Amino acid sequence: MNKNILIITGGTGGHVIPAVNFLNHIENNFKDVFLLTDYRGSKYVNSIESKKIYKIYSSHLSGNFFFKITGLLKLFIGLIQSISIFIRLRPKTIISFGSYASSTPLICFLFFRVIFKTKLYIHEQNSIVGKVNKTFIKFSNKIFVNFENDYSNIQKYRKKIFVVGLPQKINTNFSKYELKKDKSNLHFLVFAGSQGSLDILNIFKQIVQDIKKISNLKKIFFTVQAPIEKHEEIKSLLTEHGYDFEIKSFFDNFDAILSNTNIALCRSGAGSINDLINYKIPAIICPLPSAKDNHQYENAKILSKVKCAIIVNKNKINNEEIMLFINKYVNDKIYKKNIIENFNKFKIKNANELMWNFIINEK
Same domain, 28 and 146: yes
Q: How many Å apart are CA 130 and CA 127, to the nearest integer? A: 9
Q: How many Å apart are CA 273 and CA 123, to the nearest integer? A: 16
Same domain, 54 and 203: no
Give me the mean pLDDT over the 207-226 stretch.
Answer: 87
Reading across the β-sheet that carries 283-285, which strands appear in turn?
244-248, 219-225, 185-191, 263-266, 283-285, 309-311
Overall domain count for the chain: 2
Q: Which amino acid is at 190?
A: V
Same domain, 34 and 137: yes
pLDDT value at residue 294: 83
Same domain, 209 and 330: yes
Same domain, 333 and 249: yes
Spatial neighbors of 336 by CB under 8 A, at least 6 apart, are 328, 329
Task: Say whether pLDDT at 137 is over 50.
Answer: yes
pLDDT value at residue 198: 73
Same domain, 19 and 151: yes
Higher-pLDDT residue of 222, 182: 222
DSSP letter string, 132-183: HHHHHGGG-SEEEESSS---GGGGGGGGGEEE--------TT---GGGG--T
- The answer to whether residues 120 and 137 touch, using CB atoms and an 8 Å cutoff, is no
Same domain, 251 and 111: no
The closest alpha carbon to 266, from 254, 242, 256, 138, belongs to: 254
Same domain, 126 and 237: no
The closest alpha carbon to 96, from 58, 125, 127, belongs to: 125
Q: Which of 93-97, 165-169, 269-273 has the highest mean pLDDT?
A: 93-97
Same domain, 334 and 189: yes
Same domain, 111 and 188: no
pLDDT value at residue 319: 87
Cα–Cα distances in Å, from 96 out to 90, 125, 133, 139, 210? 16, 11, 8, 12, 45
pLDDT value at residue 217: 80
Q: Which of 53-57, 178-182, 346-350 has the highest mean pLDDT?
A: 53-57
Same domain, 126 and 159: yes
* First CA to last CA distance, the chain: 10
pTM of structure: 0.89
Task: Say whether pLDDT at 264 is over 90.
Answer: yes
Domain of 318 in residue numbering reads as 177-344
- The answer to whether residues 167 and 243 touch, using CB atoms and an 8 Å cutoff, is no
Q: How many Å apart are CA 349 and CA 362, to the nearest integer? A: 20
What tens digit of pLDDT does each residue of 172-212 get? 555 554 445 555 589 999 986 554 567 788 899 889 988 98
Share of the chain above pLDDT 90, in %: 66
- Please provide the average confidence, as pLDDT, over all residues in the chain: 89
Same domain, 51 and 194: no
Q: The domain that contains 306 carries what CATH number? A: 3.40.50.2000
